[in-house]
């Protein structure tokens, strides 16, 4: 039996991709399924955080293991923050509809 991929945020099965939570260059083993829409949104948020953190490309490989760990942590924090934002948006939308 094949496992169906569901977006970890919205439950969609449409165009689900594996998002490397800490960045594929930093924590390849740690992936979460996201629909294309949420994958793009997470990626943009991570890129914006890197710019705010002094122009660091949080997704770019570095040979410095301490820096890779730092970038993985920052990317994970951004994902968790965005997850809270999306849940909050969804709750606000549900309240307006009722």
pLDDT in tens, 24-50: 777 777 888 999 999 999 999 989 988
CA dihedral 36, 81, 74, 29 (to 10 degrees): -50
Note whether residue 1 is domain-resident.
Answer: no
As for how many domains the chain has, the answer is 1
Note whether residue 84 is domain-resident.
Answer: yes
What gap in Å lies between CA 69 and CA 71, rounded to an integer? 5
| Residue 98 DSSP symbol | -
Note whether residue 3 is domain-resident.
Answer: no
The pTM is what?
Answer: 0.78
Identify which has the larger pLDDT, 23 or 81: 81
- pLDDT > 50? residue 1: no
Note whether residue 83 is domain-resident.
Answer: yes
Q: Give me the pLDDT at residue 3, please.
A: 56
Note whether residue 11 is domain-resident.
Answer: no
How many other C-beta atoms lie within 10 A of the C-beta of residue 53? 12
Q: Helices 65-97 and 36-52: crossing angle, nearest 10°?
A: 120
Structural domain boundaries enclosing 48: 16-97
Note whether residue 66 is domain-resident.
Answer: yes
Place of tokens 């793009």: 40
């Amino acid at each position: 039996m094949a496992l169906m991929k569901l977006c970890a945020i919205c439950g969609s099965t449409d165009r689900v991709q594996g998002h490397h939570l800490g960045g594929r260059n930093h924590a390849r083993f740690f992936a979460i399924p996201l629909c294309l829409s949420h994958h793009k949104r997470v990626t943009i948020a991570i890129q914006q955080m890197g710019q705010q953190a002094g122009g660091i490309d949080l997704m770019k490989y570095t040979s410095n293991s301490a820096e890779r760990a730092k970038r993985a942590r920052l990317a994970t924090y951004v994902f968790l923050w965005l997850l809270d934002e999306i849940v909050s948006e969804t709750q606000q939308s549900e309240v307006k509809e009722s």
